[in-house]
Chain A
Amino acid sequence: MWSLFHKFGSPPWLYQLSGSILRWLLPITLLALCTGAVWGLLFTPPDFRQGNSYRIIYIHVPAAIVALAGYYVMAIAGAVSLIWKMKMADLAMRACAPIGAALTFIALVTGAIWGKPTWGTWWVWDARITSMLILLFLYLGVIALYEAFDNKEAAAKACAVLSLVGTVNIPIIYKSVDWWYSLHQPATIKFTEPSTIHASMFYPLLLMITAFYALFICCLLMNMRADILEREAKTSWVKKLAAGYHS
């Protein structure tokens, strides 16, 4: 266990491992995203109440779920970098922020577009939507805070604290549709009781959720690889890599 922990702290090892993971994960992810989108757009029946606008669910829900999950990853990486001063955890934390921000942005924008034909409005200041907006600001805050420091060690510490404090928001987002009266519908996929979604709509949604998780992992690894190169620019293994680079 500890040897694995130390291995993850080794930049060349992580660079190589992530490279070999991406080689098969990235094509599968892109294929799954395309398949899921086409399936959801063209091969599912429309919702009996919302008509075709519900097809937005195939990006809205996966983006929102993975935006939340990404926050956990960021906060846990932040905690690891705070407690063990692990450089690669700091990289992972920083790599999460732009992906999480992008996914939260997708969830908010597609939600607004979906809201117009369904609720008659683009935006309401309701608990679920407002707490998702706060999530976006938390992600953007981590990015901005990191850039604000010249001392990158202090920046990593401040970002880790911010991301840990921000975890307060996560249960609020989850529970917001139950705690407050909301326009937003409660979750349709449930683990403890039968889901309130038909199988013909559920399978493409499940595929898209999986694909978005994979997309998050791909982007996380790609961001980390670029940051590893930047951070390790002076080391011999990166110089060797750069010497063999043609373009």
Chain B
Amino acid sequence: MGQKARGGISQLMYFDSLNAVINMAGHGAFVWAAYGISLLVVLFILLAPVRKRSRILHRLSGEVRRQQSELGSVREVN
């Protein structure tokens, strides 16, 4: 980011090197910690329902298959 010739959108950027982005004039640790923790929490609230839904569907699909195979074996006996 820092070494390349800067043009286009990077001219609009406030920082002029990757180090400046990381350091943020001494406030980097605070800013990045805040964004990092928030990212983790947002990922958690997004993924929790996805995992719950697939867990339920997985369980139910197993039940449905079992019921179907039971039905099938009953038919075979008859």
- Tell me the chain B residues, 1-52 only, with Cβ under 8 Å from chain A: 12-15, 21, 24-28, 30-31, 33-35, 37-38, 41-42, 44-46, 48-50, 52
B31–A55 touching, CB < 8 Å: yes
A242–B31 touching, CB < 8 Å: no
Query: How far is the CB of A189 from the nearest CB of chain B, in Å?
Result: 20
Interface presence of A173 (CB below 8 A): no
A233–B60 touching, CB < 8 Å: yes
Interface presence of A141 (CB below 8 A): no
Interface presence of A140 (CB below 8 A): no
A107-B78 Cα distance, complex, nearest whole Å: 65
B21–A229 touching, CB < 8 Å: no
Query: How far is the CB of B31 from the nearest CB of chain A, in Å?
Result: 5
A98–B13 touching, CB < 8 Å: no
A226–B45 touching, CB < 8 Å: no
The majority secondary structure among interface residues of chain A is helix
A105-B34 Cα distance, complex, nearest whole Å: 11
Number of A residues contacting the other chain (C-beta, 8 Å)?
A: 45
Query: How far is the CB of B28 from the nearest CB of chain A, in Å?
Result: 7
Q: How large is the interface on B (under 10, 10 to 19, 20 to 34, 35 or more residues)?
A: 35 or more
Interface presence of A222 (CB below 8 A): yes
Residues of chain A lying within 8 A (CB to CB) of residue B49: 219, 222-223, 225-226
Most buried by B among A44, A52, A109, A238: A52
Which of A225, A239, A246 is the one whose CB lies under 8 Å from B64? A239
A117–B42 touching, CB < 8 Å: no
B38–A42 touching, CB < 8 Å: no
Which of A63, A219, A222 is the one whose CB lies under 8 Å from B38? A63
Residues of chain A lying within 8 A (CB to CB) of residue B57: 229, 241-242, 245, 247
Residues of chain B lying within 8 A (CB to CB) of residue A223: 48-49
Interface mask (A38-74 → B, CB under 8 Å = 1, otherwise 0): 0001111110000111011001100100000000000
Interface presence of B74 (CB below 8 A): no
Residues of A within 8 A of B (CB): 33, 37, 41-46, 51-53, 55-56, 59-60, 63, 98-99, 102, 105-106, 109-110, 113-114, 116-117, 215, 218-219, 222-223, 225-226, 229-230, 233, 238-239, 241-243, 245-247
